C-alpha cells in the first residue's frame, strides 16, 4: 500500500464515485465477471440482448432508467 500511495503522489488524478445507474454497461460487465470461473471472451456479434439494449441507450446518450 505504501508503494502504491507513493506512486499515486507522483500522478495528477481525481477519484470520483458514479452510481451504477450512471454506467450500467460497466455495472453489467462487472456483475457478469464476478460470476465467471475462468476467462470468457465476449463476442460482440453475439451479445446478450439486455446488454445490447444498454449499449444502444448509452450510445445515444439517453439516461438509463432502472426498474424492478
* pLDDT, tens digit (0-9, with 9 covering 90-100), for 6-20: 998 999 888 888 888
Distance CA 14, CA 50 (A): 31
- Domain spans of the chain, in order of start: 17-68
- pTM, two decimal places: 0.64
Please give the grid coordinates belonging to residue 20.
451504477
Structure confidence at residue 52 (pLDDT): 93
For 24-44, the pLDDT digits (tens) are: 999 999 999 999 999 888 888
The HSE-up count of residue 5 (CA atoms within 13 Å, CB side) is 2
**Is residue 24 within 8 Å of 58, Cβ to Cβ?**
yes
Distance of CA 16 to the CA centre of its chain: 14
Quickly state the pLDDT bin for 68 (edges 50, 70, 90).
low
Amino acid at each position: 500500500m505504501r508503494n502504491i500511495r507513493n506512486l499515486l503522489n507522483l500522478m495528477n488524478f481525481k477519484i470520483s464515485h458514479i452510481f451504477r445507474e450512471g454506467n450500467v454497461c460497466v455495472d453489467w460487465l462487472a456483475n457478469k465477471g464476478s460470476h465467471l470461473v475462468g476467462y470468457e471472451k465476449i463476442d460482440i456479434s453475439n451479445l446478450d440482448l439486455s446488454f445490447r439494449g444498454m449499449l444502444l441507450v448509452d450510445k445515444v446518450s439517453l439516461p438509463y432508467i432502472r426498474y424492478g
